[in-house]
Amino acid sequence: MTASDQIKDTVTSHDVVLFMKGTKTMPQCGFSSRVAGVLNFMGVDYTDVNVLADDQIRQGIKDYSDWPTIPQLYVKGEFVGGCDIITEMTLSGELDTLLTQHDIAFDKAAADKIREANG
């Protein structure tokens, strides 16, 4: 199985996937930590893929999405964005809307707290 096949299988078989440096419990870069922190705080059930554990996946995800940086968030098989985009979507409420549209459970009160703290 190629890296691209493996990535496609992962993003299509899980509702929410975060390709990141490290894991959801031990992020290994600030950008990955920020996105994982938002998802963790909001109680989103997601699959984490540590790109540092596999060089083929690390490069493969950049090729797959045609996006040069990590982390990368996927919802229902669709690429959503990296750290800056997820941060903006969280603060604007767009992430809430996206998760709701796809029937992904999350803690709305926690999302509101993030916005209050950064407003």
Please give the model's pTM, rounded to 2 decimal places.
Answer: 0.96
Q: With 90 as the cut, is the pLDDT of residue 92 above it?
A: yes
Backbone phi, psi, residue 80, to 5°: -100, -50
Q: What is the pLDDT of residues 10-39, one digit of tens each?
A: 999 999 999 999 999 999 999 999 999 999
pLDDT at 12: 97
Q: What is the pLDDT of residues 36-58, one digit of tens each?
A: 999 999 999 999 999 999 999 99
CB 114 within 8 A of CB 41: yes
Which residues contribute to the annotated binding site for [2Fe-2S] cluster?
A: 29
Q: How far apart are CA 102 and CA 87, in angstroms?
A: 19
Side chain identity at residue 111, one-letter code? A
For the segment 64-77, the average pLDDT, to the nearest whole number, is 97
CB 10 within 8 A of CB 73: no
Task: Give the residue from 91, 90, 70 showing the smallest Cα distance to 82.
Answer: 70
Which residues contribute to the annotated binding site?
A: 29
Domains and CATH numbers, the chain: 3-118 (3.40.30.10)
